[in-house]
Amino acid sequence: MRVVREDPKRRGLLFAGTETGVHVSFDAGGPWRTLQRNLPAVPVTDLVVKNDDVVLATQGRSFWILDDIAPLRQLAPDVAGAGNHLFEPSAAYRFGGPEGRGAVGKNPPCGARFYYLLKEAPKDGEEVKLEILDEKGALVRAFTSKEPKKAEAKGGDEEDDSGKDAPKPIPAKAGLNTFAWDLGTPPASRFEGMILWGGETDGPRAEPGHYQVRLSARSTPLTRPFDLGKDPRLATTDEEFAKQFALLKLTGVEEALYQTKNRSSQDPLNFPIRLNHKLAALASTVASADAAPTAQSYEVYRDIAARLDAELARFDRRLSDDVSAFNRLVREKEVPAVRLPQP
């Protein structure tokens, strides 16, 4: 035995470094269990519990870190032997980066990480759902264990890229599962043939604050709270995060122009049509006969055009306000202008 440390948050949770690896005890040194994971057989000369991680110093294998020991802190006989269980998540932070470089090492996934126990895997037709809710219970993002549906190909060898922006299915095997939310909100709606250079349709990242995660899997849904904090190195205020989120999402304008809930040709039966649909329907009516448009067609057009202009003006005002605020900040900070080279 080289070193023994107690978890500062759970009394009796011990970690031990030995001549051949690392072990854990949940009852102050009673039975010891291996915690080797992907650590080779190597002497562990020292270890420390830092925040929610266990950091090992080894002899000849550099450092090894077990990220996020929240499940170990909450594990108990009644949890392991019960049915489905959702562990309370550790606090998450808004910063990102690559998972690692080759064999140098792998960082933990960015965002909020969730652990859940499933008594059994879902059967055919069943699904496991993870839903992210804000502090008041409003839905922020939803994930499912089901594969995203693909629309039927339109014929020929045309590639069907429907569903490519859908999130990957969450794991749902019997036993312990883990899933990392990258803090992204639902993306903007795409359309066939959309090409963007230097742009994206990803939804903005969630603002720092209090959130909940809900697990639904054949039984009573389980909900746990968690906090999302900002990068501690930043001085950005909550108000500034809110402004960034408001400019990036523009949900009100988007949903007034297009019914974003439509996913199939039959969905307009369930969700009311928006301005673009009404304008398209008017065009179809006007083109239905070789005759001059009726007075009613002109009246409907003026109504739709006015409402479209109002939404575009709303977008322009919001954009103008944020750009003006940015320009004022640049002037206040005396940021020098940089002329970019011409291509």
Asked, for residue 240, whether it belongs to a domain, the answer is: no
pTM tops 0.75: no
> Does one domain contain both 76 and 201?
yes
In terms of Cβ atoms closer than 10 Å to its own Cβ (0-12, 13-18, 19+), residue 134 is middle
> Domain span at residue 228?
69-97+108-233
Same domain, 80 and 229: yes
Dump the DSSP string for 178-246. Answer: EEEE-SBPPPPPP-TT---SS---PPPBPPSEEEEEEEESSSS-EEEEEEEEE-TT----HHHHHHHHH
**Do residues 215 and 84 touch, judged by C-beta distance below 8 A?**
yes
Task: Tell me the pairing of strands 209-216 and 129-134.
Answer: antiparallel
Residue 341 lies inside a defined structural domain of this protein: no
Q: Which of 233, 260, 284 is the last residue of a domain?
A: 233
Is residue 305 helix, strand or coil? helix
Q: What is the pLDDT along the chain (343 residues), one digit of tens a residue?
A: 999 999 999 999 999 999 999 999 999 998 999 999 889 999 999 999 999 999 999 998 889 999 999 999 999 888 877 789 999 999 999 887 666 666 667 788 889 999 999 999 999 889 999 999 999 999 999 999 998 876 544 444 444 444 555 788 999 999 999 999 999 888 866 667 666 555 566 778 899 999 999 999 987 899 999 999 998 888 888 888 887 676 557 555 566 666 655 566 676 677 666 666 676 676 777 666 666 778 888 888 888 788 777 777 776 776 666 667 777 777 777 766 666 565 5
Residue 226 to residue 206: CA distance in whole angstroms: 13
